[in-house]
Structure 1
Amino acid sequence: YSSKNNPAQILIAKLFKMHTNALSRNAKSYVLYYKDVLDILTHPLVEPYAKTNSLVNVINQNNYTFITHQKLMELNPNTSDLFILLFQKWEKGSMAVLETISNLLQTIKSNLNNDNEEEKISKAFVYAIFKTINKLINYYSQHSNIDDIQTLYTIYKQVIELAEVSFEGEPLNGLQIMGVLESRVLDFETVIITSMNEGNLPAGKSQNSFIPYDVKKELGLPTFKEKDAIYTYHFYHLLQRAKNIYLIYNTESEGLDAGEKSRFITQLEVEKQPKHTLTHEIYNAVLPEIAYQPMVIPKSEAVMLRLKEIAENGFSPSALTSYIRNPIDFYFQKILRISEVEEVEENIALNTLGTIIHETLEALYTPFIGKFLSESDILGCFKLLDAEVLKQFKLVYKEGEIKKGRNLLAFEVAKRNVSNFLKFEQESIKNGDAIKILHLEKGCERILEHPSLPFPIKIAGKVDRIEERNGIIRIIDYKTGKVEKTNVTLKSWKGLTEEIKNDKIIQVLAYAYMFENEANDKPIEAGIISFKNLKSGFLPFSFKEGKEETTEINSAILNNYLEQMVLLLNEILDKEKPFEEKIK
């Protein structure tokens, strides 16, 4: 078996990649790329024995993109011998590198157990790579002038191509897997030969040689014909005493192991012997009639208890829209509480950018809660803008790189978005708007009671900003994506909770419902400020009936909204209604 693509060889290849990249970047500070580090730490020959799960979590949680060697050692103070050998600097030349790899392979080998069949196979691969490394050590001891790591890796790749691993099994038990030459003096009752296509058996003109065919023929040197003759002899010897013979070939003319069927099969067909019974069967991969069956999960007692727990703690508007988008997503996120795996954000994600903008605006406006905004207040915010955005980047993105590449662009985008918002606010004040900040990032909740609901349900969520503008209460939700006026305009209450396109309407009306009792009978508007559509300003929810359009959220609007929400909540809480996946 080839040593080329086994776990031990892949680990060594990853090591070469990590260390050569570190040396090419800056040999003095020895900076390691996080993907290279995680590839090593999560490798199956390393992860169970290096005890670095906490280190992997720290790297993912803090967005370490590039890590110096010194920082890596500080992050993992309880280092094992295996960890030290993996991340030991490759600064002392090729011979030192080879000796480090040799020691590493011996350490890995000592971790593997002979009682476990999988580990036994892994140990055989490790030993094969170990022998190859020792060959290179002997070679380099005689040719010490070749001392470049990149050259060493090139030579290693050439040598490993030729390395092979021999496996041993129980010869008197089970299926015996072997090459043609291994079967030379053995007889079997049942023989299965795979890949019986021309070019595989016989191999044909597969050997590359500097000696032309005619010269070989003239001098009596062996050619591919002699090799084919040897394989022909072994093939027929293998068939001589067998009772059941299966010759398997690929009927496809193109693709992996494709081509004409072997001439050996044709010969058996043409020169059919009296005692031979030949049958031909064609097998095709069975394709499923349905490409994908949507998931359907019934509601068990445990699920119903969890739904009641959510109802007591509070259904958030985002949880309700998650159910509308895909009930299976709601099931995974809210019932099973499965969260996304935390990974390093090499480039700032859109949701992270949104968090940074939200946090920046909260920090800038917090001093003005409970008072009317003035132009001088906004000018003060402009002065603090750059420092505050940088501070929020460091808090949210942690150790991530923000001084170059896409992240620098994201940093500038965040500054521009907040700056444009402040300009928009400044213009409103100049035009005479009286703006009083009532709340920022306010947690709201309200108990929804209805005769058709099985029990009272709490609706809870966090509102980005609540203000009083010219005597009207405005409930504002910031969106970093693009939102149009049509996204918050409703023409009919029927089917409100059936389509995900209404998610923003459901969200802002939920905020209005939760804050209604605190509005002191003042008129309420609820809507969105879209940073990608700031020219449209505040986009309030509006109900359009014919030519009439109203933006004020009155009791009639809320009653119609609640009737639709009750239908949705009853569907979620209906034990007979399973969670059915929506195919996107």
Structure 2
Amino acid sequence: MRTFIQEIADTIRKEYTDWDNLTVIFPNKRASLYFRKALAEQLDTPRWAPNIVSIEEFIGTFSDLQEADKLSLIVSLYRVFKRITNSDENLDRFYFWGEMLLRDFDELDKYLVHAAGLFKDLSNQKELDQYFDYLTEEQKQFLIEFWQTIDFGSSASKRKFLELWQSLYPVYTAFRQQLMEEKIGYSGMIHRHVAENIDKFVPAAKKKEVNTKYVFAGFNALTSAEEKILTWFTEHRDTRIYWDEDAFYVNEPHREAGTFFRQYRKHTVLGQTFPPEPKTYLGQAKKITVLGVPQKAGQPKLLAQQLDTTLRLLAEQNIAERTVIVLPDENMLMSVLYALPPSLQSINVTMGFPLVSTPYYSLIDFLFELHLHKRKDEFYYRYVLALLNHPYLKARVGEEAAQWREFIHKNNQVHIAPSFFEKKHELLEEVFRIVPTEEFLAYLIRVVEALATSPDAGGLMEKEFAFHFHRILSRVQELTLSEPMELRMQQRMFRQIVRTEKVPFTGEPLKGLQIMGVLETRNLDFDHVIILSLNEGLWPSAPRQGSYIPHNIRRAYSLPTSEHQDAMYAYLFYRLLQRAETIDLYYNTEPDVLGTGEMSRYLYQLIYETDWAHERKILYNPVQVHEAKPIAIDKKADVLEKLERYFGKALTPSTLNTYLECRLKFYFKHLLEIREPDEVEEEADARIFGNIFHKVMELFYQDLRPPAGQWAVKEEHFINVNAKLERFIELAFRQHFHLPDTKVFEYDGRQLVVKEMVKKFALKVLSYDKVYTPFTIEFLEAKNFTTPVNITQRDKTLSIVLGGLIDRVDEKANTVRILDYKTGKDENKFESIESLFRRDPKRNKAAFQAMLYAWVYAQRNATRSPEVKIQPGLINRKEIFKDDFEYGLYLGKHRIDDATPYLPEFEKHLLTLLHELFNPTVPFDQTDDLKVCGFCDYREICSR
């Protein structure tokens, strides 16, 4: 079937001989390009082509105004707005509203709206009758409904709204006047300027004696300015208009796709340019397939499978360009490109790709955040890590970037000085350096240039991205010369501009598979049409962007509304299908957070309103519920080999607690050593609080240790405790965060809270220690507080090391205290010795640890005097602030003054536990208590 463009080319070839005086006008440049190719294919000999232009170019030739770029227009509008309204709003905050206001002004002019009337205060019916006699009764009714139903909330709100509304017309007129003086304008302003002065701009010759002939082709939803211009040329010049329509939607009033054609057929002038009846293309036989695919990611994958054979055949026939993939969701472009089969040689992308979806956007935004969150002259680690992990920096720096990320994690570097990156990599030195605010945009431009010009800068796509960001940053830099901005303002300005910008991909448009956006398909026809993401909210797209002009007023003044947009997108859908032979329509079957899982209304119309033959398929994965099977790891030779590490390495209380909690967790954590990745600890959580407290107590008592002799602690050692603690707390923070002594330390955020909590807890502990003096310290934060124990495994004896790091052991008057600091909610009571070995979530782990250390001490000092008591206990934050606090463990209600009588029973249970742990016949299996699994790091592996 011939395309619309080919039909126009054939008509031009047959009916127009003087191409030197012929101008052919299309809605866009893409259609013009295809028309030029179609015209060339129908010629036997070379000849000069007629003047082929888009409607924008055509209208622009009649005006002396040059269309300015959007940023320049918004800046001019901002200055006018400030002058008229005396506003003190910053440019970066005005940008969004200015963009919306510029869009409204553009529409006002394109639809030739009486601006003074629209912006007039319509607060009552009398003014409506007096000032708006030119409106129809229907238009007046729309306005009345709006002003009666709008809820202002209060008279102050109403007054504020009216003041803003009343200022818009002065802003509009002053803005247009300024642009006129500068000989520039926005699109709508130029269109209105030409439409209202068309008689002056077109050479004044006798109506039908002008040699130039005009052909307008493929128009649908005309603005009022375009309609007036087309009408004038139809009346005053040798002009023909070719409409691309179909009887399917034109002859049925309920089908919105034909809305505009039905209007124009009734037009006194344009109506004469239509044929008596529309042609019928949509009624002809087509192969239509509707494919439902769960999730957006599945559509490109299914598309690739479907196209693999088809495209190979098309490539062999050299007609791949007769196939188009239409993407209503432009964010799917990259996933579609990556999914296309390798057999495809040529691809032409004709659509814009959002700049916010490019790696350059995230990189530049990270650089803004890096400098916005720096503390003095140091960078916050989160943004340093984000940049080191960015694909552009990783590609250029190489594997060393991973080493530096690991160093930051392991050394808990919350704030990183620029000197850290000196002599590491030239690009990193440029990225991580302190920059004054006034030079920041120049710094960003240098980073973009460095990336774009590096040997591994990537392909043309990355260079195209770099070019656009270089241009945007340069423009913002120019703005800051006249509109000074703080760094956060510069970032907001950058985000506002990039938010609406797209990369216009360019390629060989007449060769290979075509990939297009919805609007790019205008006037073009393909044999094989593939549309992805045919969901409500994508095609048709969601309602238009915001506007200062309420809906009813828009209707009253015939400005575009959601109904206008729906009619336009419906036409684009059915027009694309008109001449196609094979049609594949994909949609997402799964709703997302925006609710765009609903099938497009156009698909519903196709399925239920037409009698077109079609095949409907739903891609799905069968739901397979897999029962979580129990996991048990047998102690084979390799597992037993891993257990042998505890022949020399200490089996600690926390390790045994893990085993009692869940054997499988012990296997994952301590034998396979599956760990969560290191994270930088910036917030002072409970664990950091505990670490700092333990360190402070260690530093305090280490300071009292004599060079030789007994480590005696006396009452006089507790003079100036406050000052000492201040010094030791800072030192503990420095060691935890790996800060050098030369660096000034300041507490910030939660660190200050933790500091005060640590100090308060330490003061309380030291106050009890002062009362307890004099005493001697035997062990302090001892890492080698261990003892060997022999167990039998089958026919051999194993020597296991038990113990670990003890917080403190001190002695006074034949009483040895085994102290364990607890900063959490640990209890100092337990039910029985046997209860310490139960596989029960309520088991007292802290008491188990204290009793184990008491047993280790007894084993290490087996020859001690029977009079020496071993008193285990917890110094816990939960109890120590009570008035009746007394050190020790409580077995039931009885305080253990000497653990020695309980140690034989403890040893019995301990040896039973160790025999089980090293017994080859007892597997590492899961706990039966699912409550334990709730916060387990390995629950995903267990499927619990």
TM over 0.5: yes
In structure 1, runs of 5+ residues without a counterpart are none
Deviations 1:392-451 (A, max 9, x none): 33333443954343212222222222221121123344xxxx634333233222222234
8 Å CA contact 1:328, 1:580 repeated in 2: yes
Within the alignment, does 1:14 sit opposite 2:366 as a pair? yes
Deviations 1:68-109 (A, max 9, x none): xxx41x22221433223323444373xx54444333224324
Give the aligned partner of residue 775 of structure 2.
435
Alignment of 1:46-125 (within 5 A): 46-50=393-397, 51-53=400-402, 55-57=404-406, 59-60=408-409, 63-67=412-416, 71-72=417-418, 74-91=419-436, 93=438, 97-110=440-453, 113=456, 120=459, 124-125=461-462
Residue from 361, 370, 380 that aligns with 2:697: 361
Per the TM alignment, residue 459 of structure 1 is displaced from its structure 2 partner at its CA by 0.9
Moved more, 527-536 or 129-138: 129-138
Within the alignment, does 1:351 sit opposite 2:687 as a pair? yes
Per the TM alignment, residue 294 of structure 1 is displaced from its structure 2 partner at its CA by 7.5
Within the alignment, does 1:583 sit opposite 2:933 as a pair? yes
Per the TM alignment, residue 353 of structure 1 is displaced from its structure 2 partner at its CA by 2.9
Give the aligned partner of residue 35 of structure 1.
382
8 Å CA contact 1:356, 1:393 repeated in 2: yes
What amino acid sits opposite 2:933 in the alignment? Answer: I
Per the TM alignment, residue 550 of structure 1 is displaced from its structure 2 partner at its CA by 5.5
What amino acid sits opposite 2:757 in the alignment? Answer: V
Q: State the structure with more CA Rg.
A: 2
Alignment of 1:129-148 (within 5 A): 129-137=466-474, 144-148=481-485
Residue from 317, 320, 340 that aligns with 2:656: 320
Change in CA separation of 1:533 and 1:49 when aligned onto 2, cut-off 3 Å: farther
Give the aligned partner of residue 610 of structure 2.
271
Change in CA separation of 1:298 and 1:185 when aligned onto 2, cut-off 3 Å: farther
Change in CA separation of 1:52 and 1:471 when aligned onto 2, cut-off 3 Å: same
CA distance in 1, matches of 2:526, 2:776: 93
Give the aligned partner of residue 42 of structure 2.
none
Residue from 376, 381, 401 that aligns with 2:716: 376
Give the aligned partner of residue 284 of structure 2.
none
In the alignment of these two chains, the number of paired residues is: 548
Change in CA separation of 1:138 and 1:403 when aligned onto 2, cut-off 3 Å: closer
8 Å CA contact 2:632, 2:925 repeated in 1: yes
8 Å CA contact 1:195, 1:250 repeated in 2: no
Alignment of 1:164-563 (within 5 A): 164-165=502-503, 178-180=516-518, 184-188=524-528, 193-203=531-541, 206=544, 212-213=554-555, 215-216=557-558, 223-224=564-565, 227-237=568-578, 240-242=580-582, 245-248=584-587, 250=589, 255-259=594-598, 261-273=600-612, 276-279=613-616, 286=623, 288=625, 297=633, 299=635, 301-339=637-675, 341-366=677-702, 367=704, 370=710, 373-379=713-719, 384-399=724-739, 402-429=746-773, 435-442=775-782, 443-451=784-792, 455-486=798-829, 489-491=830-832, 493=834, 496-500=837-841, 501-517=843-859, 518=861, 520=864, 521=866, 522-534=868-880, 535=882, 537=885, 539-543=887-891, 551-554=897-900, 557-563=902-908
SS of equivalent residue, structure 1 residue 46: helix
Moved more, 506-515 or 44-53: 44-53
CA distance in 2, matches of 1:299, 1:234: 70
Change in CA separation of 1:575 and 1:413 when aligned onto 2, cut-off 3 Å: same
CA distance in 2, matches of 1:261, 1:404: 53
Deviations 1:121-145 (A, max 9, x none): xx62553243242255267558842
Change in CA separation of 1:5 and 1:232 when aligned onto 2, cut-off 3 Å: closer
What amino acid sits opposite 1:145 in the alignment? Answer: S
Deviations 1:451-494 (A, max 9, x none): 467622221312222223332322221212233332xx233616
Per the TM alignment, residue 11 of structure 1 is displaced from its structure 2 partner at its CA by 0.8
Moved more, 305-314 or 81-90: 81-90
Per the TM alignment, residue 10 of structure 1 is displaced from its structure 2 partner at its CA by 0.7
Give the aligned partner of residue 90 of structure 2.
none
Deviations 1:276-335 (A, max 9, x none): 145475958948566x77865555533321211223322111211122334454334422
Identity %: 22
Change in CA separation of 1:173 and 1:316 when aligned onto 2, cut-off 3 Å: farther
SS of equivalent residue, structure 2 residue 683: coil
Per the TM alignment, residue 375 of structure 1 is displaced from its structure 2 partner at its CA by 2.6
8 Å CA contact 1:132, 1:163 repeated in 2: no
8 Å CA contact 2:525, 2:576 repeated in 1: no
CA distance in 2, matches of 1:566, 1:372: 36
CA distance in 1, matches of 2:479, 2:608: 58
Change in CA separation of 1:108 and 1:300 when aligned onto 2, cut-off 3 Å: farther
Change in CA separation of 1:353 and 1:550 when aligned onto 2, cut-off 3 Å: closer
Give the aligned partner of residue 129 of structure 2.
none
CA distance in 1, matches of 2:496, 2:624: 41
CA distance in 2, matches of 1:77, 1:465: 43
Give the aligned partner of residue 495 of structure 2.
157
Change in CA separation of 1:533 and 1:174 when aligned onto 2, cut-off 3 Å: farther
What amino acid sits opposite 1:496 in the alignment? Answer: F
Change in CA separation of 1:136 and 1:355 when aligned onto 2, cut-off 3 Å: closer
SS of equivalent residue, structure 1 residue 331: helix
TM-score in terms of structure 2 length: 0.51
What amino acid sits opposite 2:763 in the alignment? Answer: S
What amino acid sits opposite 2:903 in the alignment? Answer: L
Deviations 1:539-559 (A, max 9, x none): 534545xx987653236x333
Per the TM alignment, residue 537 of structure 1 is displaced from its structure 2 partner at its CA by 4.2
What amino acid sits opposite 1:532 in the alignment? Answer: K
Per the TM alignment, residue 12 of structure 1 is displaced from its structure 2 partner at its CA by 0.8
CA distance in 2, matches of 1:505, 1:173: 78
Per the TM alignment, residue 46 of structure 1 is displaced from its structure 2 partner at its CA by 1.4
Change in CA separation of 1:13 and 1:479 when aligned onto 2, cut-off 3 Å: same
8 Å CA contact 2:791, 2:800 repeated in 1: no
Change in CA separation of 1:143 and 1:104 when aligned onto 2, cut-off 3 Å: closer
SS of equivalent residue, structure 2 residue 777: strand
When the two chains are superposed, the root-mean-square deviation of aligned CA atoms in Å is 4.1
CA distance in 2, matches of 1:473, 1:203: 78
8 Å CA contact 2:653, 2:848 repeated in 1: yes
Per the TM alignment, residue 380 of structure 1 is displaced from its structure 2 partner at its CA by 7.0
Over 6 Å off, 4+ runs: 167-176, 207-211, 292-295
SS of equivalent residue, structure 1 residue 477: strand
CA distance in 1, matches of 2:675, 2:454: 33
Change in CA separation of 1:295 and 1:180 when aligned onto 2, cut-off 3 Å: farther
Residue from 904, 909, 912 that aligns with 1:567: 912
CA distance in 1, matches of 2:834, 2:907: 10
Give the aligned partner of residue 465 of structure 2.
128
CA distance in 1, matches of 2:360, 2:869: 70
Change in CA separation of 1:360 and 1:91 when aligned onto 2, cut-off 3 Å: closer
